[in-house]
Structure 1
Amino acid sequence: MADKLIELVTAKRKLVYWGLLILTLVFVAQLPGIQIDTDPENMLPQDNPQREFHNQTKTRFSMHDMVVVGVVNPDGIYNPKTLSHLVSLTEFATGIEGVVQADLMSLANVDNIDQQEPGTIRFEWMMKTVPQTDEQAREIRDKAERLPLLYNTLVSGDGQAAALYVPITDKNQSYAIAQQLRSKISELDSQDEWHITGLPVAEDRFGYEMFVQMGISAPLAGLTIFILLWVFFRNIPFIIAPMIVAMATVLITMGLLIGMGFTVHIMSSMIAIFLMPIAVVDSVHILSEFADRYKPGDEVKKVLKEVMGHLFTPMLFTSITSTVGFLSLMITPIPPVQIFGAFVGFGIMLAYLLTVIFVPAYLSGLSEKTLLNLTQKLPDESQSKLAPALVRLGRLAGSHAKLWLAGFIALFALAVWGISQIQINDNPVRWFKADHELRIADRVLNEHFAGTYDAYLVMQQQGDASADVKALLAEIADSEELSQNTANWLLQQQQQFDASSSLSTLISAIYDKGFELDMDESDRLTELALELEKLESQSKAFLNPAVLNYMSGLQQHLKDSGLVGKSNSLSDIVKTVNRELRSGEDKDFALPDTANGVSQTLLQYQSSHRPQDLWHFVTPDYRQSLIWLQLTSGDNKDMTAVVALVKDYIAANPLPDGLQTDWAGKAYLNVVWQQQMVEGMLDSLVSAFVIVMLMMMLLFRSVSFGILAMLPLTLTITLIYGLIGWIGKDYDMPIAVLSALTLGLSVDFAIHFIERFRATWAKQQNWQQSLKLMFEEPARAISRNAIVIAMGFTPLLFAPLVPYITVGVFLASIMAISALVTLVMLPSVMALTRKWLFGSDK
């Protein structure tokens, strides 16, 4: 097959050139349609139950994504100038398009709640006018510190910081809104420190910088690879072919992704940088063997047939195994990871096809002068540092096999221990370097406030009252005390009533109907209305003092744990208003004794300037409520610990009858997709491992050689993830995806080594001679590939985004370790088992 392919592509060179050019241009035309997506919420499918509940909670409680602005003054923010600037920025923020004005919060637009006289409370603006003196500013401090909903949320406990919460209609506008806020801050002539943070800002900012990074890293990777190939072959026309293959592979794959309507997520943004080095792997093998075999005067087509005859099958299987490694990511339940795996897998097979078609066609078209220069300028391998090093490595690998094997077993054991130390954790803010302004803002504001990360513990009453209401209506309608017309009217009300109906409306209608009837029927309907009022009161769980007291106990438990900076709930509103209705003193900061008392406090609260704030904590039917948790850390492990803490508390202190809980909020969603990613990655890794092992057995037509090929892969994977555990690096999204690359590329080197060794053994029939020959051209090709791929990822080390740096560091490590393990482990194991593998110990 390889011979026929060489005949065809060398005879139709121009057709190959034009075909590749047109194909590339077709997909390049799709690139302008690129859409960026950095929302971690999209790591979950749209029909994911937790994601659906999160979005339902946001709608039900009118919650919005927030841009958090903080002003810090070490001498205290309670001074006229700082507060004046806060007012100015608040007024400016209300005019920004995309800001939810009604829910914007700072000291400049919230109420102070205090007692006007016993039994009467007063709501007035916290800062009706900007304070003119320090004394007036301190009065604002005293007011703010008495209100639990504001203290450590809008003003810090140390008095050195104040916050402005800017709710936005669309999280994708957060970067633009943050830029407008920064522009206004620069005009304030303020000596204070200003910081802007929040998960929407971090995610949107990452999208902007990710887009810039895509345009920098891939070209730099291409330049790095080009320089390396020139160092290896010292002939620019000769090394153009792999660069064309790599560029065409990247452009076609990215064009296909964008043309099919997929957004470019943090994962898919790495496709280009992944494919650029991988796409030249097969080309390097072809160039290496061609350079070694070609001599002046040789027929190029004949040399190409010999080269492709040796490499066609190993390259096919290495491409397939790499593709399988990435396609296995489609098993994960994370859509962006699935897309990443699918398109990198496609790109690898595309690179293989372009390599076996374009590279031979290109080489066959090189002039005699270029080929002569290749033989004359090709570095003398005997004088290079790589060739002698490989010869020495071959001698070491072939001797002391038992000692090597013991060392590998010890490394494997240490790696397994390291894996046991891995912590699963991620945080979008940590995607930026420690000195990035977002990281600094996050660190500073979380030092001063109770936390800028949100999570919501939603409590809701199970079932609905509609069944009981309908049963009661039917029962009264059957009563002999009512006329047929009245009974029919009640049955009509019963048929129209459902879970979405207002019980208060029904009760009012029954009272109104009673005025139309005689005394006996009117009294019966009044009794019915009273029964329904009792049922309505029972259905409003979050007017029950016992339920609110349970919430308070849970909040105190969370605060005592140290995991939660602060929590706010309906209970806090009720206690605050109740205090002012009674004495205004701390001793009355408590819940009323009755549901009616709770209702009265909430009616009073709704006379404030911000009555809509109540519905952020409870639904109008008082059947659902939430506790707003503020966390100083957005790390998944901290959110996981909070979830476990609440679960343990509920286990020890059962929820009031009829209540159930669930979680919402970005911090919680990050935990959900991380857990699903880890489980999915494990499934994909195991599945791909089994498939690749079966492929190895099929390729070598031998169970023993198939298992042998998997040994370097197994040790490389365990060493890489053991290293992650040793150094304390969190297992995050980029680290998880590296398992696919490790699985795909680690076995590539083993395939080439074993296939070439078996061919060499078939000719030499001598162990030492075969081993010596293996550490010449084959080992050089493997080493060159490892160096090219590893160096191809080094531009990522200079990226401003941590996920890119992580990928760069670990991919370089993977290539170095897998190549070294292949060149040392395989000869050692083969030396111990050569009688079994080859039927001879010569």
Structure 2
Amino acid sequence: MLTSLYQRHGRWLLVLAAIAFPFMYWQGESMPSNNDLETWLPKESEVRSTYDMFKEEFGAEEVILVGLPNMNPDDPLVESVAERLNQLPGIRHCWSPRRLSQVMRELSVSEEKIEERITGLSLAKDKQMLGLVALLSPQGLQDRAGTVKDVEGVLDYCQLRGEDVLLTGGPVVIAELNRLGGAKNNKAYFLITLIISSLLLYYFVREIKLTVGVMLITILSIETTNAFVKWSGGEMNFILGAMPVMVMIFTLSISVHFISYYRESDKVPDRLIYSLKHTWKPVFLSALLTVIGFGSLVTTSIGPVWWFGYAGAIGSVVSFLCGLGLTPALLLQWPDVLENEASVTKYSHLRLAHTLIHRRWLVTGICTVVIAAGAYGCRYLTCRIDPLDFLPKSSNVVKDLNTLEERLTSIDSVEAIVDFRTSDAPFMEKLNRIRLIEARLGTHQSVTHTMSVASFFPDVMPEGVMGAAKIFNKALGSQHRSDFLSAGERYWRISCRIRREDVASKGETFNELKALVADMPEVTLTGITPLVEQAQVTIFQGFKESFSSSFVLIALVSLCALRSVKLTFWGMVPNITPIMFIFGLIGWSGASIDIGMMMTGSIAFGMSVDATFHLLFAYQEASRAGHSPRTASFYALVQTGKPIFEAAAIASIGMLALVLSSFTPTMRFGLLMAVLLWSAVVGCLVQLPAILAMLPGKRKRKSKAIALPIDDSQEHESLMLEEIRRVA
């Protein structure tokens, strides 16, 4: 019935897919990109609420810092650039050394104090570089990349290029991340991956029409997944960039397994039914379990991780439908396409399979030691989220940032909010309190510069009521007071520039600053730094919890499918082998893992589950036919080893093209994914058969013998039977 259905409607199914292909491609490729740091921050937490309140009262803390080497603050070009930047819609205000000095001078600050206060902020200590500090407006926050482009346009118009200008700041880093990590920049590397995968698929299939058809099905799966994510309101980011690779792996795996079963069934009356019978159950279960695994990520409060879980679940379903729905229709269009293949057999590795089963105790022992060492190494794993780690060291953005932080000021800051609530204290009393708090925060070794309303006032106020009143009136009338004062005189802001350190050190600095003002209940500290630290902890903890819950759910579903506690237990071992081993090595090496590296674990886990089910069902088939565990394990390895190996080889070797990328997350992802896939192959085709061969056998019962996948030639049949007898 199913065969006749495909025969009648298979061609129309392919035509429908061909019609949908251009639309899905257009929709999938038009998904917007967004790598803004705020999207990675926890949505609901006390730390996030405090930061949101800070933004509402004072505006965002994000700045673009323009460094001008060998320029004098009184140079007319400096003020010309500052004024042009000030007029950009994405810039709220641009501070220059002259503008800062002018405000302080109007409030009777001495020239000596002015120079002291602007040094290390907008003027280098050696006076050989000055800086323009451009604060982003709400419009600039909505379009950081556009604002950075506008700033670059102003600098180019003023003929400040190359070594004449340095540009850095959070928006500059984010714009560069969007450029390097965007779909446009990575498309070339992904195209190379598809080409390599296509060549490998052709090498294994040896049929050009089928190769092209399967690769088009794979691309359709990728773009359909992207389209669904876009329609749901998703945006492309660092980790969603891994989704096309995951969908490619899953779809190719399904197609390769189906083609393998179809090829070996050339003497079976109904090849389609035979192939579907051996493919659908392990493929369906692996897709179901992958959906469960990715679905567990939607409980997180981190936006990109939530979208990765959602997209992963959608991609698993799409891969299943396209891979198992369109590949049979494709093969029926060319029913004899695999008939004339010479030496279509997978028995060249029978000796290897026999050696593995024969050495099962040794193999299992080695794998056990490796897993134990890896599991112990996982204790030392640490997570690190630092956008600068994603940029190549040779990047001009990184060079400018390092130069400006060394010679001028840091772009990282901790913001102190001082809440005087309904206090009726005089302005001067509040100002002195701010000075006290600012001085205490400034004693920390990581704080390079502080700035507040007090920075614009003289240390000693003029004597006499009229002199003081004049200064107060000028201060209250200043258009810049909203940068440091809000809600009348209730909220006061102190901005502390801190040295750039790793995230853990920033977290320690933040906690130490909190301890310095612990006895001042009116002070609350906030900023991107504590949010990034919390996001790091939340993401790392969330993935561990997600992996643990997924493991338990997958075990329960496997138990229902296999109906064997023994097979379920031992079948889960190779699923964790690649993750334990590879991530254990990373832990032992002392290296940190980033968010992209975490994604590889989820994808490798899905690949391992798929391969494991294929082998376990083949083992169960032989075992139920009355064969011993060693014979059943040997049969399962011969039956499923070739397509498992081919699918992993096509995906992993193809992904090595991503190592060529200059974008660090893409390079790390491609390399780690390739290594994990080969580790998954070792777990499924080496460790699992060895374990299964060691299981105690049951008393043989009479049963109809299974149809062993043997070539008609007497030579292959004799070899197969000889090996089975030797193993048994």
- Three-state SS of the structure 2 residue aligned to 1:279 is helix
TM-score normalized with structure 2 length = 0.87
Paired residue type of 1:104: C
* Aligned positions of 1:17-56 closer than 5 A: 17-25=14-22, 27-28=24-25, 30-31=27-28, 34-44=31-41, 48-56=45-53
Paired residue type of 1:643: F
- Three-state SS of the structure 2 residue aligned to 1:627 is strand
- Three-state SS of the structure 1 residue aligned to 2:425 is helix
Alpha carbons of 1:723 and 1:573: their partners in 2 closer, same or farther (altered >3 Å)? Answer: farther
Q: CA deviation at 1:790?
A: 1.3
Conservation of the 8 A alpha-carbon contact between 2:296 and 2:549: yes
Paired residue type of 2:656: T
- 1:688 is matched with which residue: 529, 533, 550? 550
Conservation of the 8 A alpha-carbon contact between 1:199 and 1:429: no
CA distance in structure 1 between the aligned counterparts of 2:36 and 2:160, rounded to whole angstroms: 34
Conservation of the 8 A alpha-carbon contact between 1:250 and 1:276: yes
- Three-state SS of the structure 1 residue aligned to 2:608 is helix
- 2:82 is matched with which residue: 78, 90, 104? 90
Matched, 1:623 2:490: yes
Alpha carbons of 1:610 and 1:175: their partners in 2 closer, same or farther (altered >3 Å)? Answer: farther
Conservation of the 8 A alpha-carbon contact between 2:32 and 2:235: yes
- Three-state SS of the structure 2 residue aligned to 1:36 is coil
Conservation of the 8 A alpha-carbon contact between 1:112 and 1:143: no
CA distance in structure 2 between the aligned counterparts of 1:666 and 1:122, rounded to whole angstroms: 32
* Aligned positions of 1:123-272 closer than 5 A: 145-147=115-117, 150-169=118-137, 170-186=140-156, 188=159, 192-209=163-180, 210-272=182-244
Q: CA deviation at 1:756?
A: 1.4
Paired residue type of 1:633: R
Aligned position for 2:561: 699
- 2:101 is matched with which residue: 99, 104, 111? 111
Conservation of the 8 A alpha-carbon contact between 1:458 and 1:626: yes
Q: CA deviation at 1:689?
A: 0.8
Q: CA deviation at 1:226?
A: 0.9
State the Cα deviation string for residues 559-604 of structure 1 (Å, max 9, x = none).
x2xx333333445455xx125859xxxxxxxxxxxxx99x987962
Conservation of the 8 A alpha-carbon contact between 1:332 and 1:681: no
Conservation of the 8 A alpha-carbon contact between 2:452 and 2:484: yes
Paired residue type of 2:177: F
CA distance in structure 1 between the aligned counterparts of 2:532 and 2:647, rounded to whole angstroms: 37
Aligned position for 1:404: 363
Structure 1 unmatched runs, 5+ = 125-141, 466-534, 583-595
Q: CA deviation at 1:351?
A: 1.5
CA distance in structure 1 between the aligned counterparts of 2:435 and 2:134, rounded to whole angstroms: 29
- Three-state SS of the structure 1 residue aligned to 2:621 is helix
CA distance in structure 2 between the aligned counterparts of 1:292 and 1:59, rounded to whole angstroms: 67
CA distance in structure 1 between the aligned counterparts of 2:39 and 2:395, rounded to whole angstroms: 25
- Three-state SS of the structure 1 residue aligned to 2:95 is coil
CA distance in structure 2 between the aligned counterparts of 1:293 and 1:621, rounded to whole angstroms: 82
Aligned position for 2:508: 641
Paired residue type of 1:655: D
Q: CA deviation at 1:713?
A: 1.6
Q: Kindly name which structure, 1 or 2, has the bigger radius of gyration based on alpha carbons.
A: 1
CA distance in structure 2 between the aligned counterparts of 1:30 and 1:355, rounded to whole angstroms: 20
Identity across the alignment (%): 17
Aligned position for 2:459: 578
Conservation of the 8 A alpha-carbon contact between 2:27 and 2:223: no
Aligned position for 2:720: none
Q: CA deviation at 1:183?
A: 4.3
Aligned position for 1:607: 474
The alignment covers a number of residue pairs equal to: 700
State the Cα deviation string for residues 695-717 of structure 1 (Å, max 9, x = none).
11111101111111110122222
Matched, 1:756 2:618: yes
Alpha carbons of 1:703 and 1:450: their partners in 2 closer, same or farther (altered >3 Å)? Answer: same
- Three-state SS of the structure 2 residue aligned to 1:162 is strand
Paired residue type of 1:303: R
- 2:522 is matched with which residue: 649, 652, 659? 659
Structure 2 unmatched runs, 5+ = 703-726
CA distance in structure 2 between the aligned counterparts of 1:734 and 1:348, rounded to whole angstroms: 19
- 2:245 is matched with which residue: 273, 281, 290? 273
Matched, 1:796 2:658: yes
Aligned position for 1:566: 449
Matched, 1:303 2:271: yes
- Three-state SS of the structure 2 residue aligned to 1:578 is coil
Paired residue type of 2:451: N
Q: CA deviation at 1:229?
A: 0.2
CA distance in structure 2 between the aligned counterparts of 1:600 and 1:708, rounded to whole angstroms: 85
The alignment yields a C-alpha RMSD, in angstroms, of 3.4
- Three-state SS of the structure 2 residue aligned to 1:316 is helix
CA distance in structure 1 between the aligned counterparts of 2:657 and 2:13, rounded to whole angstroms: 32
CA distance in structure 1 between the aligned counterparts of 2:436 and 2:698, rounded to whole angstroms: 75
- Three-state SS of the structure 1 residue aligned to 2:552 is helix
Q: CA deviation at 1:619?
A: 3.1
Paired residue type of 2:307: I
Conservation of the 8 A alpha-carbon contact between 1:425 and 1:732: yes
Paired residue type of 1:107: P
Q: CA deviation at 1:285?
A: 0.8
Paired residue type of 2:503: N
Paired residue type of 1:175: A
Paired residue type of 1:200: P
TM-score normalized with structure 1 length = 0.76
- Three-state SS of the structure 2 residue aligned to 1:202 is helix
